[in-house]
A = this chain, B = another copy of it.
Amino acid sequence: MNEDFIRVTYRIECAGSIEAMAAKIASDQSTGTFTELPGETDAVRKRCAARVETIAPLCDTETPGFPDNEGKGPYHRADVTIAYPLEAIGTDIAALMTIAIGGVFAARGLSGIRVMDIDLPQAWSCHPGPQFGIAGSRRLMGVESGPMIASIIKPSLGLTPEDTAAVVKTLCEAGVDFIKDDEKMMNPGYAPLTARVDAIMPVIKAHAERTGKQVMYAFGISSADPDTMMENHDYVVKNGGNAAVVNINSIGHGGMSFLRKRSALCLHAHRNGWDILTRHPALGMEFRAYQKIWRLLGVDQFQINGIRAKYWEPDESFVKSFHDVMTPIFSKDDRPLPVVCSGQWGGQAVETYERTGRTLDLMYLGGGGIHGHPGGPAAGVRAIRQAWEAAASGQSLEAYAASHPDLAASLEKWG
């Protein structure tokens, strides 16, 4: 039975009856329209009608999530699960998005609607999922255990390819496992991708020859034109690179699907724009639902902010996101590597470890936290590694810092 339906849970808010609204959505999103039609026969309904499965009431609210010009409070709220026949949607992500997600947000009489989760039947395991994921990321970086320590080119924008290569050299020597272009860096006139690859890859290779370690560099290859994106991809591959930053919302499902089928690179996803979907709790989509789509499409590494991020996202939201990406959809291999980032300098390591299930299967990304360390970037990387040693061995940062001056310096600057 479970295999024949896609179940979507919505948090619905409306002035009228929740039951009526749920039924209306199920009808509108499958066989119904605004007036009775002779063609909506029993056979048609049996094949395609969506049905309301459960309604879990929540407390009313006096303030509408978003304005409803026709309604008056109190506004009723509930989590409603609607089952869509697989026969009506199939396994195409565009069909899922249009039938069970997109169209739902247009219904009249709502004052809140948010997709909380999507439960996909086994047929959906046809999607490729991550090519590298956690295990592949470790293999490519040569990091068998422990967190992968990463950094980002700063300033985000404005450096020439030569400037950038110099930063890369510094970061390689500082001992990072991974470096990435800022997500805003793609193919600007003053630092085109090809020129960045030409300048950066020799630094990566020289460091690998000298030390035996190839630092993973993720180049910003995103383009709204999949052909251009593939050219970018191919240039990175041809020059020995093994990773790319992909701005998933900016390229869309089509761009991601196209790339994944042809990709030889480890795909590091940046979700900029996701906040539009989630900043208002009564509107949009939970990360839990959102990330499933992008994992099926093939994200290998997923940026999900971190504890005390510089952005608006509360810590609890990050903790939930971490749990979400670490939960298999169909198998362990469809999990991407969680990338903990934004304002990270090591000071959040112990809390991150304790609140995310004490795993070291993560990438920990410091930008300013490495570049801005008083002892320089190498000290910044050491400080972060020390912070994670403290976390993994159950010690407080302060105690561990007593015998680790790099961590002590970080604590003094940012603690």
Contacts and interface: CB of A to CB of B under 8 A. Distances in A.
B32 A156 contact: yes
Contact of A33 (B48, B65, B154): B154
Contact of A106 (B34, B94, B311): B311
Nearest to A33: B368
Contacts of A223: 92, 94
A333 to B, nearest CB: 21
A224 B184 contact: no
Interface string A273-309: 1111101110111000000000001000000000000
Contact of A368 (B35, B101, B253, B314): B35
A187 B96 CA distance: 11
A71 to B, nearest CB: 11
A222 B98 contact: yes
Which of A277, A279, A283, A368 has most chain B Cβ within 10 Å?
A279
Interface string A59-99: 00001011111000000000000000011111011110111
B257 A225 contact: yes
A209 interface: no
B226 A254 contact: yes
Interface in A133-164: 154-159, 163
Contacts of A327: none
B254 A97 contact: no
B45 A158 contact: yes
Interface string A356-373: 000000000001110110
A257 B225 CA distance: 6
B276 A186 contact: no
A169 to B, nearest CB: 13
B252 A44 contact: no
A305 B273 CA distance: 25
Interface stretch (A107-115, A172-180, A381-389, A394-402): A107-115
A261 interface: yes
B156 A97 contact: no
A254 B224 contact: yes
A224 B31 contact: no
Which of A159, A186, A250, A310 has most chain B Cβ within 10 Å?
A250
A353 interface: no
A168 interface: no
Contacts of A188: 48, 87-90, 95
Contacts of A186: 90, 92, 94-95, 98
Contacts of A371: 37, 39
A12 interface: no
A224 to B, nearest CB: 4
Which of A30, A35, A163 has most chain B Cβ within 10 Å?
A35
Contact of A272 (B102, B189, B311): B102
What 7 A-B pairs have minimum CB-CB distances, sorted nearest first?
A: A252-B252, A254-B255, A102-B273, A44-B158, A102-B272, A93-B224, A105-B275
